[in-house]
Amino acid sequence: MASLWASVAVAELSATVDRREIAMGETLRLTLLGDAGEQPAEIDLSPLSRDWEILSRSSATNARYINGQNQVTRSLEMEE
């Protein structure tokens, strides 16, 4: 049983915005960043539509292999 838990990876997801304050009519960039276990582009963002209009959306995957370790990050950027 211990070996089962040792092989489970924990996915991480973070969110950042490009500014702390906005005025009515300005846009805000929301960036979601996830590791290999998360797919930010697949997250249900429908709750945002109540207060926000998503104007544009883009996603990217970045893979690096450094010192024998593979690191994959995925990002989703939206202009709201």
For 59-73, what is each residue's pLDDT tens digit?
Answer: 888 888 888 877 777
Place of tokens 């929301």: 30
Mean pLDDT within 20-42: 80
How do residues 3-25 score in pLDDT, each as one tens digit?
A: 444 444 556 778 888 888 888 88
**CB within 8 A of 52, min separation 6: which ones?**
28, 80
How many helices and strands, by DSSP H and E, does the chain display? 1, 4
CB 79 within 8 A of CB 52: no
Residues above pLDDT 90, as percent of the chain:
0
pTM (2 decimals)?
0.65
